[in-house]
Structure 1
């Protein structure tokens, strides 16, 4: 791990990103990538209990405070200059961004939370992405260690990958190194249209008769004409000037409960608790069903999604894009050169359309 006291923030960013092999050209995205690498590196060294052959290690869980302290102490000298430029403000507080980045690494499968306060590196495994020759390498190991065995390792988004032909023969046929794409990705609807149809049937059969009044709940706007006239994502029920009978995503006005409502002529007929239904998938499916295209809004090198991405889709896109700490609740992603087409291939399959706003750079 580098000593960075003598380097300016900008010099350190450029040096470390080049060392990692990341093509990021944005300060905030660069900080996220570098923090991710320091987390992997420190967690590896703090937890390694008994080194064995490559890919076969024993780890002892590391308390979160010990991990945070070590990463923060290592990065603080470089952060001091960034703080003066606004990168170290409340939104980008160094400890907050370390914790936030750790959670993103947990999402893609590089680290594992053990109990309430402890973490360990995830085991090394290869995941073949569909419709591509890229084999992503997941696990809580820093690039410097991985490249000793996998010298052609590349970095994109928060992920690392090899081409299929670059997998060493001794690992290609070792089942312990491989994880299926579906088990890594997590639960995802096979067909959103059919899934929404099935939900409507469930609401018709098992939904309870609603006693809610207009003052009790709000409705997610998935109908184009209502979105155009209100310019809102959520409206009170009496603003839903829609004569169609269908299911909609609803929530109580205190935002504590979400449910699926069967609505006709603005009247809530039946309601069904969400249970284990993913709210983001429901929003995407309803928008598509009602003719309101989900949007991937791109401005320069930043992109954000409306509706927000479900967990599985976030996980997949972090192998193309660098997630950025949310500002005022909006989650954005950095798009590096050449990664937009890969990301579009993923999110367009689920109905998202790219909308270019303002200046458009060649990425």
Structure 2
């Protein structure tokens, strides 16, 4: 089969790799119908220096091709969603919906990749979600967002404590930031300020529920947000970028006694949490890797009934032969999120 690998900085190639096979009785092998490029993939695109190439991709919709002897819920031919984690569904963390903390789970992209023709998923019965639509459904792109970006945006809103009447700032106009806007709107936020400067993206943010857009960055951006919020900032800030300037901006726009929820993968280890930044202002810092699998069944109904259309974040569709161009387009911000049809 063919799959996408990264060899070094900006060096993405599609090559022949061994077909995935059942390695454990709880495994399933699925043929990929849809995958995509994630903003998180760009971190590897910018930093991979290991001498061994890495398989890429962690968001998949596919058709079950084979199952291990212990798989009971799934059968060959089922159309399924594969979020980026696998989990046992029975440990104390899974029962609480905290699937990324599963005692026996992990990230299947650490040994396989979704940007290819097939993939092996461990603990298939509790890690794959059967989809109640056909393989040609126009809803598939929106359903694919449940594998990562929609669930991650929703996780930001949940961790931030968004409720009816909340005032929220979202930092970042990538797919996660835009779907954090959608999630905040779904949870009842009264004011949603989107900080981003790419008009096509912020226009989509308005479609998803942003009430205000702030294009300025740094101190200028902080001042503008405070002008929109009686000089106080917002009680909830959702940081969906992961770079230090975004974190500093989050501190600047957060209201005292507010909450900052970070879901952009931090590209730094040191961040101020001292008296002037958080402690003295009683600001809560939270966030982390989204429990995406724990949100799938909560978020899917609104996609199925047409209430929301998170698939609007996809603005380019490619085949496997175009993967290098797809990465270049996302890296250059020519595309918001690239959909892959192998």
- Asked whether the two chains share a fold, i.e. TM above 0.5, the reply is no
TM-score by length of 2: 0.26
Larger Rg: 1
Q: Which has the higher contact order (CA 8 A, sep 6+)?
A: 2
TM-score by length of 1: 0.25
Larger fraction in helix: 1
